[in-house]
Structure 1
Amino acid sequence: MKNIYCYRTTSWLLLPALLLALAGCELFEYSPYEVRLKPEERNINEQHIARILAEQPSSSDTLTVALTADTQGFYADNDDMVHHMNHRDDIAFVLHAGDITDYGLLKEFRWIHRSLDRLRVPYVAVIGNHDAVGNGQDVYRAMFGKFDFSFAVGSSKFIFLNTNFLEFDFKAPDLDWLETQLQDRASYKTVFVVSHIPPTSFEFGEHNNDRYQRLLEKYNVSLSIHGHTHRYDFYKVEEEGVDHLTVATTNEREYMVMQIVGEQFKLERVNF
């Protein structure tokens, strides 16, 4: 009995150590809503923008950028897209127009990041409406960083705008912030605004569309880039307005390539 008692006591003493060890790996989680990340999984946008800027081309060079969106749950398609992009030697970086995940869960963010992190080039992602459900806003903020941000490379500026009006309690998009970002337009040959929800959707906040279009026109934005609809589209909201691009989901086996030269850009639909 003494030996049995000692064995049981020892087992209970070892239990906290075992739980601590399990907590440090991915096989054990307290809750599907917790946010526990490895250092390399934090502030991905900031890390990848630093990589982009470290290899910044001169303003006279052609800048080639790939565009994707709505990778949510399409794991095999995403892997195939990454494989296809990696066989090109012209892409400088990849822009993701949101909906990284389906349910905003850490596991989903991690699975998609592991696929996209196999790209030979950096990628930068804006938050989508599916990324903002549950505790997805907390996960995105921890993994990718700010909801609204920008960076410039060469003579081009890229502005990432959170347009998830419903998921952010009608406080998005922050069009005052956007105008602040656009005020240095004269310093760049091209300026691109990247967001998930397009302004033609009621989920953008119908009253926001008019001001958004006025800002695009006032500051001569080169292109407004979106995801969300899962299909390719290229259009103008207003007859004399700024061009808008909607990027298809990876499930459509398609991504976009944009070549930027000076004040001009050219778009190509690429199937994989």
Structure 2
Amino acid sequence: MRTSGVGILLLILTSLSGCAPFLDSPYSDQLLRSERRLNQKSQGEIGNPEADGTVRIAVIADSHQNYRELDETIFAINNAADVDFVVNLGDFTNSGYNLEFDQFIDSYVQIRRPAFTLQGNHDSIGAGPALFQKAFGGPNFWFETSSKRWIFFHTNDLEDLEHFDPQWLKDAVDGSAKPVVIFSHAQLTDDARYGAATRAQLTAIQADAKVVLTLNGHNHIYELTDNAGTAVLQVPRVENDWVLLEIQGTSLTIRQMKSGASTSVTLKQ
């Protein structure tokens, strides 16, 4: 039986989306979900997470279309004690389709804590940047609590160069009077992504005396390294694990919640 190009495209989209509905076309910047600027909303809800002296952060990454594992992880986070806020390090879609954004948000809004999401490289394809702007707000932002500045940095230079701004990151670090934690999708020192000059600039920012911890996803595996005293934590894909960070002063405990492993690190002063 001869199949037209349109028929093949519809078959591919059906297999990718599980027959999920969409507005206009899967490539458009139209969403069925009505939520807007979710990151900004969470900033208004976070309150004082350090009131008891410890910040507890649940971190997930790279859910792509693993919706069952995402839902299971959200259930576990909602039932974990004393989580102050949640961070998703991006790549919650495969192709940046609007139906993938809608389906992710269906799950994401079930989180019962303030939650913040980064735009991953897969989320930056096609209309992804416009969809992200609608649902979550701008891709670069920061907020402060009593002891730290928390910076969220867009690393997707190859897919969305317009919003890739290392100078913005440097200014956000330089402007802080407090220790800094940086969240990003790709690692700041990714030599497969950045040219030598950009990588040198980002490596220097990561090693800045104020930056005590950086976190990234993207590579789907757990890894803990160090750059000039800055702890560098790579979070695995949600299918494999999620992490709970407990920060008390300069003490960092990293709990891998599925494997049960736990690591303690002293953050630089």
Fold-level similarity (TM above 0.5): yes
Structure 1's unaligned 5+ residue stretches are 1-25
Aligned partners of 2:184 and 2:217 also within 8 Å: yes
Provide the alpha-carbon RMSD of the alignment.
2.1
Write the mapping of 1:41-52 to structure 2, written as runs, cut at 5 A.
41-52=35-46
TM-score with structure 2 length normalisation?
A: 0.82
Q: Which runs of 4+ in 1 moved over 6 A?
A: none
* Cα distance in 1 for residues equivalent to 2:171 and 2:103: 35
TM-score with structure 1 length normalisation?
A: 0.81
1:251 equivalent in structure 2:
239
Aligned partners of 1:164 and 1:204 also within 8 Å: no
Aligned partners of 1:126 and 1:195 also within 8 Å: yes
Deviations 1:116-175 (A, max 9, x none): 211111210111000000111111111111111111123121111111121124x56412
Q: Which has the higher helix share?
A: 1
2:60 to 62, 68, 79: 68
Counterpart of 1:221, as a letter, is: V
Structure with larger Rg: 1
| Change in CA separation of 1:59 and 1:221 when aligned onto 2, cut-off 3 Å | farther
1:29 equivalent in structure 2:
23
SS at match of 1:202: coil
Write the mapping of 1:166-185 to structure 2, written as runs, cut at 5 A.
166-169=158-161, 173-185=164-176
* Cα distance in 1 for residues equivalent to 2:253 and 2:224: 12
1:159 to 135, 151, 163: 151
Aligned partners of 1:86 and 1:119 also within 8 Å: yes
Aligned partners of 2:22 and 2:31 also within 8 Å: no
Deviations 1:50-84 (A, max 9, x none): 111xx223566211001111011000000110111
Count of residues in Structure 1 that have an aligned counterpart in Structure 2: 239
The answer to whether 1:195 aligns with 2:184 is yes
Counterpart of 1:179, as a letter, is: K
Structure 2's unaligned 5+ residue stretches are 1-19, 260-269
Identity, % of aligned positions: 27
SS at match of 2:181: strand
| Change in CA separation of 1:86 and 1:36 when aligned onto 2, cut-off 3 Å | same
Write the mapping of 1:1-272 to structure 2, written as runs, cut at 5 A.
29-37=23-31, 40-52=34-46, 55-58=47-50, 61-169=53-161, 173-186=164-177, 188=178, 190-198=179-187, 199-236=189-226, 238=227, 240-252=228-240, 254-271=241-258
